[in-house]
């Protein structure tokens, strides 16, 4: 079983962090948001190996000097924010543990920058899932095949043996192109879990357990 992180296992509103960074850099909020979007690929594929380096790409894209002292301060701000703002959904650990009890090996597959490494550690997800696959470590972002294939190799599983759960349509489609069955999770959107056979949807991981019929 391959499982996404953000908006699947955990939730986080990143806008307050972006607002604080905008204040620290003395630039408009929209400039910071645009910088995050512009650097997303490089931050998520390992070009910047540390949280400080990834933040440096944000700072320079905003037109500011990436002073080491500034980057160290921003890294602390980011670390403290994520420690409080990233929250597991109530059904996440129950589902992961249920899968393990049912004999299903699990892999976390996340598009993320280096800051997420601390999130995974804080939540002790390495002890809950069999494999942790983070895009900045693998050098590939979903829906690219490489990140899925890395997870399959670590699980020693064939595509047809696996399911993938994610909230993004394109990521589910990327898994399906490799022969991995996928179901899309649409948390907090009443009535949205009504997809067809080509786009099965569930509203929670608890509902995914029932849909997959494992155990």
Q: Of the given ranges (50-54, 89-93, 189-193), which has the lowest mean pLDDT?
A: 189-193
Residue 215 has pLDDT above 60, yes or no: no
Average pLDDT for 118-137: 98
CA–CA dist 154, 132 (Å, integer) = 9
Q: Residues 48, 97: one domain?
A: no
pLDDT(195) > 60: no
CA–CA distance, 36 with 59 (Å, rounded to integer): 10
Number of structural domains (the chain) is: 2
> What SS3 class is residue 7?
coil
Q: Do residues 168 and 151 both lie within one domain?
A: yes
pLDDT of amino acid 132: 98
pLDDT at residue 200 in the model: 86
Domain edge (last residue) among 57, 85, 113: 85
Cα–Cα separations (whole angstroms), residue 17 to 46, 116, 146: 21, 14, 30
Residue range of the domain that includes 43: 15-85
Domain final residue, candidates 60, 85, 110: 85
* Residue 196 predicted with pLDDT over 70: no
Residue 138's pLDDT is 97
Q: Are 174 and 143 in contact (CB under 8 A)?
A: yes
Q: Is the pTM of this model over 0.75?
A: yes
């Amino acid at each position: 079983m391959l499982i996404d992180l953000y908006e699947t296992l955990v939730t986080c509103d990143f806008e307050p962090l972006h607002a604080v960074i905008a204040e620290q850099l003395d630039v408009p909020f929209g400039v910071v948001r645009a910088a995050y979007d512009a650097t997303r690929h490089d931050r998520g594929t390992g070009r910047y190996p540390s949280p400080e380096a990834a933040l440096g790409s944000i700072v320079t894209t905003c037109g500011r000097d990436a002073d080491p002292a500034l980057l160290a301060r921003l890294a602390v701000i980011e670390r403290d924010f994520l420690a409080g703002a990233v929250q597991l959904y109530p059904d996440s650990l129950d589902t992961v543990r249920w899968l393990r009890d049912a004999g299903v090996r699990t892999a976390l597959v996340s598009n993320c920058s280096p800051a997420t490494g601390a999130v995974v550690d804080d939540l002790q997800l390495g002890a809950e899932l069999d494999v942790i696959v983070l895009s900045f470590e693998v050098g590939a972002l979903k829906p690219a095949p490489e990140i899925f294939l890395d997870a399959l190799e670590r699980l020693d599983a064939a595509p047809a043996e696996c399911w993938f759960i994610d909230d993004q349509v394109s990521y589910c489609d990327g898994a399906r192109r490799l022969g991995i069955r996928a179901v899309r999770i649409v948390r907090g959107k009443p009535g949205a879990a009504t997809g067809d056979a080509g786009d099965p949807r569930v509203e929670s991981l608890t509902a995914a357990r029932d849909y997959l019929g494992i155990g």
